Amino acid sequence: MSVRRLAAEQPESFAFSKNSEDKVSFWMNKYPTERRASAVIPLLWLAQKQEGWVSEPAMREIATRCAMPYIRVYEVATFYTMFNLEPVGEHLIQVCGTTPCWLRGADDLKAVCESRIGKKGRGNVSADGKFSWEEVECLGACSNAPMVQIANRDGDYYYEDLTAEALETILDDLAAGKPVEQGPVTARTASEPFEAKVETLVEASLFDGSRAKPITLPNISGSGVGEPEPATEKKPTDDREKVQAKTGKATAKPAPRSKKEADKPEDAQPKKPAKPRAAKKTEG
């Protein structure tokens, strides 16, 4: 991973908005007072969603809230690449370039971004301030390739089954402030096989529970799922269990502490300690 540094130009101060403060309180209340540092990542994320990036004053404010050294907050923010350390476009386009998306036309999507936005990189913002873009690794929607993730203040959403023309339309709508429906642009639901000729998983009995068979649960009576089986005495099933039933279970002996103790016969009785000799009287 390349070195990540703070932007050269920083705002003079940072403050959470009223809406963000409500969410900050939620996260701070999740942890004991002595564990406030556990909220550092959620607070960094809230700062980014509010401003579009994480500034140095925001890190200092979060360090104060979490009662932790500023350098620790800096370490977290610079380690995780999900945090923007410099201003980005209002909409950050993340184009998946991993093999499935590449095979399905990710290069066409990158070409659209280059022509519409400019050079890739979070810090390369379009002239109108609306967009910046970057290439990322697999985003986990391989069956709907090619796809992009668009991050803004509203959230982080997937746009799938894309073509160059479809991405152009999405960028036009975002630039005009129009709402854009996330998900596959082909109008299919999730990853369903939209080209299949045979419908699958449409029979109601697969979901309404009518195919379920009654089961018996232990220690539950009158539950409608069966009564517990009466307890029966377990009979020995092998020679070892039969011997144990007659003589009792064998108990493990402690390991010998020395070779002499290990070689001692089992029936040998321990020797009684010798009586101490009486001290001889000396004539004075």
| CATH number, position 180 | 3.40.30.10
Q: In what order do the strands lie in the sheet with 131-136?
A: 131-136, 91-96, 148-152, 155-160, 183-184
The answer on 112 and 163 residing in a single domain is yes
The answer on 95 and 64 residing in a single domain is no
For the cut 70, the answer to whether the pLDDT of residue 284 exceeds it is: no
Residue type, 182: Q
The answer on 125 and 74 residing in a single domain is no
* Total length of the chain: 284
Q: What is the mean pLDDT of the chain?
A: 86
Lowest mean pLDDT among 218-227, 236-245, 264-273: 218-227
Long-range contacts of 20-24 (CB under 8 A, 24+ apart): 20/46, 20/47, 20/49, 20/50, 24/65
The answer on 95 and 67 residing in a single domain is no
For residue 201, the model assigns a pLDDT of 76
> Looking at 138, 164, 184, which one is the last position of a domain?
184
* Unique residue bearing structure tokens 């699958």: 200
Close Cβ partners of 49 (under 8 Å, ≥ 6 residues apart): 20, 153
Query: How many C-beta atoms surround the C-beta of residue 81 within 10 A?
Result: 13
For the cut 60, the answer to whether the pLDDT of residue 224 exceeds it is: no
> Looking at 184, 203, 227, which one is the last position of a domain?
184
For the cut 80, the answer to whether the pLDDT of residue 8 exceeds it is: yes
Determine, yes or no, domain membership for 193. no
pLDDT in tens, 65-105: 999 999 999 999 999 999 999 999 999 999 999 999 999 99
Determine, yes or no, domain membership for 247. no
The answer on 100 and 70 residing in a single domain is no
C-alpha 100/C-alpha 106 separation (Å) is 9
pLDDT in tens, 232-251: 666 666 777 777 777 776 66
Mean pLDDT of 185-206: 81
> Looking at 184, 214, 233, which one is the last position of a domain?
184
C-alpha 259/C-alpha 233 separation (Å) is 44
C-alpha 245/C-alpha 252 separation (Å) is 17
Determine, yes or no, domain membership for 121. yes
Mean pLDDT of 219-234: 56
Determine, yes or no, domain membership for 273. no
Grade residue 50 by pLDDT with cuts at 50, 70 and 90: very high
pLDDT in tens, 15-30: 999 999 999 999 999 9
Percent of the chain residues topping a pLDDT of 90: 60
pLDDT in tens, 108-131: 999 999 999 999 998 899 999 999
For residue 269, the model assigns a pLDDT of 56
C-alpha separations of 48 from 83, 116, 132, 185 in Å: 7, 25, 15, 28
DSSP class of residue 121 equals: B
Domain CATH number, residue 42: 1.10.10.1590
Determine, yes or no, domain membership for 261. no
**Angle between helices 40-51 and 70-79 in degrees, nearest 10:** 70
Residue 85: both structure tokens together: 């350390």
Determine, yes or no, domain membership for 106. yes
The answer on 149 and 96 residing in a single domain is yes
State CA 82 to chain mean position distance: 14
Which of 20, 1, 3, 4 lies closest to 85, judged by CA?
4
The answer on 75 and 99 residing in a single domain is no
For the cut 60, the answer to whether the pLDDT of residue 270 exceeds it is: no
Give the range of the structural domain holding residue 132, as residue numbers without chain letter: 91-184
Percent of the chain residues topping a pLDDT of 70: 83
Residue 209: both structure tokens together: 């529970």
Determine, yes or no, domain membership for 75. yes
Overall domain count for the chain? 2
For the cut 60, the answer to whether the pLDDT of residue 227 exceeds it is: no
The answer on 168 and 113 residing in a single domain is yes
For residue 280, the model assigns a pLDDT of 61
Determine, yes or no, domain membership for 156. yes
For residue 187, the model assigns a pLDDT of 82
Beta-strand pair 155-160/91-96: unpaired
